[in-house]
A and B are shown apart, each in its own frame.
Chain A
Amino acid sequence: MKPNPDERVPVVPKHHALVRFSHWANVPLLAALVASGLAIYWAAPVFLHPRDPVTGSADYVKDASLWIAGALGDPGSDPANWIYDHLSLGTRQLAVALRWHWVFAYLFMVNGTLYALGLAAGGGWRALLPRPSDVGDALAMIRFYLGVIPMAILRRPWPHPPVRGKYNALQRSAYFSMPILGTLVVLSGWAMHKPVQLGWLERLFGSYDNARVIHFLCMIGLAGFVVPHVVLVIADGWDTFRSMVVGWSKRVREDRHGRA
């Protein structure tokens, strides 16, 4: 039997169209920026240690590459360049990587500006502000996440901690720090890109080399956010994913806690 199209369904409005657009645009933008950024990093690694006499490597990315290649037993590629070969545009691609980086960096700034304007105009920023109760609430959320799987196995009830507002404390701290990291990554990028004309920005980061370190730490922070973010969306289910595409949620009564 076909459901009646006029029947009214209860839904909750979720994310504004601008938020949804800038959210999804960030996926290819960040991927392209990381891929080209790592290829640029290859030309002059930032995080170095004294040369290891066994591996001949002085670069932590090469160490990690050797480790990953060893763990995967991947014989096809150069083990010391595994990360550059698989997660970046590749070694010896500096000219291409720089051009990629400018294309996507400008688009990333446009996207970030759109997001910020949307948040400011729509008042959505209020839902992201930290609150005094966040530390305790975040700990409760971590406890909840740690217990979900064991309690499911034990078939014991494991209620979600109460959520006041659009996001729980963990989400709020993550969604609050992402725009800050995004701003920092852009500013440190400009400090490296134009250290003379934007000398004040270079000084703000201390030195040219400090700006590079901060730029890469921000990248690690942004990329590090993606892993738990995706895991939690998958754990939370289809409705949470859909709400970021369509803008509304059907979780009305039984469980309104979006937890991506």
Chain B
Amino acid sequence: MDEPERPSGAEPEPAGASEILAPTPEDLAPVAEEAPPAPAPAPKPKRPGVLAERPEEVELVPRGRLAAQSRREFLLFGLGTVATASALWWLLPDRAKARLLPGPWRDRLDTLAMRVGLSRERREATLNRALTFDDDVAEALYSRDRAVRTYTRAEVTPLRNNYNGQTPTPEYLASWKLRLLGLASGRVEEIALTDLVRRHRLREQVTRLVCVEGWSAIAWWGGLRFADLLRRFPPAPGARWAALRSSVNLDGAGRPDPYYVSIDLDTARHPQTLLATHFGGRPLGVDHGAPLRLLVPMKLGLKNIKAITEIEYTSYEPPDYWNERGYSRYDGL
């Protein structure tokens, strides 16, 4: 269907012309009354390109060729449908599969899929590849010079406590210290909150916290710049990441469930990345991560770790709690 069956003197790629068809009685009246005068024949007729829309003019095509074309297109269409349906089925989460097709047929289909290499492991790898591609896009978009939009205090909205699991009880606060590892000095530093608050200038910002779930809240934060801490305690040479950990997090049943996130140092050095000590003008409450939490408004909420107890600078990318549970590792907004 690519080779035009029209006479070689085919008219140039038409503007309005494509719409004027061989007149049939019912069309004649409206065409005559509204159509602009047929465009004057172009000086040199050029061949229509491969992409050119062909005018809807009657062509006489040998029946055999039409049938062959038809067969080819329907074969492609059928193959495409089967391939797409198989791919979608393969990518479906197990629970959705169980709901869509209960019983032995699902097992048979899954066995067949395994035989042709569409395994569960490959499915996860493929979906993770989409995630890393999207992370690469996010990293490419990131600029340290780009400021996060700030709001006025009047625009603050309620921020829910989205602690994963139970909110820790405040006993840990009495003995809290921030441990710093992976420093250029080779030492392990233990810093008290009073030291952090007195030695560093506290900044305020009203920014939006965006959750991976889709909700967001504008909140008024105060704290020191992560960049200031990095300047005071420089990381060991070659460090590119910070692992931020909280040993006090609990799971839903109240058992210890340490939380940990990875932050690239480029983001950590952004002037709007805070180690927050204040929320809404008051010291952080336990529900928002007392006494020190990370505030990275250019990352999803899940990177904004609460109740930090330890920061380690690493040259390799440290593990990330939610990345291990199927979410992005970079989470750049």
Contact = CB atoms under 8 A, between A and B. Distances in A.
B43 interface: no
A11 B149 contact: no
Contacts of B148: 196, 199
B327 A122 contact: no
B211 interface: yes
Contact of A199 (B58, B62, B149): B149
B204 to A, nearest CB: 19
A129 B210 CA distance: 39
Interface residues of B, number: 79
Interface in B21-55: 21, 24, 26-27, 29-31, 34-35, 49, 51-55
B48 to A, nearest CB: 9
B131 A99 contact: yes
B93 interface: yes
A246 B74 contact: yes
B220 to A, nearest CB: 17
Contact of A164 (B13, B30, B88, B208): B30
A55 interface: no
Interface centre among B49, B130, B215 (most CB of A within 10 A): B130
Contact of B96 (A24, A40, A90): A90
Contacts of A102: 130-131, 133-134
Interface string A12-37: 11101110000010001001100000
A198 B95 CA distance: 35
Contact of B19 (A4, A98, A166): A166
A124 to B, nearest CB: 4
The prevalent SS among residues of B at the interface is mixed
A194 B210 CA distance: 10
B73 A90 contact: no
Interface in B198-221: 208, 210-216
Contact of A106 (B30, B35, B63, B130): B130
A63 B138 CA distance: 36
A17 B69 CA distance: 12
A171 to B, nearest CB: 13
A197 B333 contact: yes
Interface string B91-106: 1110110010000000
Given A10-B58, A90-B99, A199-B146, 11 more contacts: A3-B63, A5-B65, A8-B63, A13-B59, A16-B54, A32-B88, A94-B212, A121-B51, A166-B56, A196-B149, A253-B24
Interface of A: 3-14, 16-18, 24, 28, 31-32, 40-41, 43-44, 46, 77, 85-86, 89-90, 93-96, 98-100, 102-103, 106, 118, 121-124, 126-127, 133, 159, 162-166, 192-199, 202-203, 208-209, 212, 242, 245-248, 252-253, 256
6 contacts: A5-B67, A13-B56, A122-B53, A162-B27, A194-B138, A256-B56
